[in-house]
Amino acid sequence: MDPAQSDFESGKKFLQEASYGQAANAFHNALLGFEQTNNEQGIANANDKLGDICRERQEFEKALRYYQGSQEICEHLKDTPSVLALLKKKAFCHRSLGQLSETLSLSFQLLDIYTDWQNPALSVEILSDIAGLFTEMGEREKAADTYKTAAAIHRNYGHTIIAQELLDKADTVLAG
């Protein structure tokens, strides 16, 4: 087995055991090895795992840097499912840092992907998250409009009870 891949596998084992220091060391060594052989997939995976460790340690700024490095490679490789996972992780980090505008921007990127995939369930889920962000930001009208959009999607699929619940949320948000 390639030494970098061996380090990566060791890192996964340490991560499962919550031995974050050892996992970080193994993933760092794997990253260096993957960089030496120009293994883009390996670099992306090692960056992702290092980001996960930083996120677990609540080192969100560091996690964002690792996730961004991984995302750039995944975009280059046209690996949309991995980009999607990284956008979610980045949104979590930004939200944890109180950076709601950045979280909102990433959430809209997720919505674009879900729309491209024609996945109404995930679209409604992220729309509800977006409405919550707008509410936190004091943008009540935008939050209400977002809930109404999610309600319309549910109504189109015959989910009248859920649609009404979302319309009620919109009214509640507008009422303040």
What are the residue boundaries of the structural domains of the chain, listed by start?
A: 1-98, 99-176
**What is the architecture of the domain spanning 99-176?**
Alpha Horseshoe (1.25)
Smallest CA-to-CA distance from 35 within 62, 64, 9, 73 is with 73
Closest to 41 measured CA to CA, from 9, 74, 81, 7: 74
How many CA atoms within 13 Å lie on the side-chain side of 147? 24
CATH of domain 1-98: 1.25.40.10
Measured between alpha carbons, how far is 130 from 111 in angstroms, rounded to an integer?
9
pLDDT confidence bin for 19, thresholds 50/70/90 = very high
Overall size of the chain counted in residues: 176
Q: What is the pLDDT of residues 93-129, one digit of tens each?
A: 999 999 999 999 999 999 999 999 999 999 999 999 9
d(CA 148, CA 101): 21
Indicate the helix (H) or strand (E) that contains 152: helix 140-156
Summarised one tens digit per residue, pLDDT across range 31-88 is 999 999 999 999 999 999 999 999 999 999 999 999 999 999 999 999 999 999 999 9
The tokens describing 12, both together, are 């996964």
Q: Report whether pLDDT(176) > 90.
A: no
Rounded to an integer, the average pLDDT of 136-165 is 95
Amino acid sitting at position 155: R
Nearest Cα neighbor of 92 from 57, 125, 63, 121 is 63
Does this model's pTM top 0.75? My answer is yes
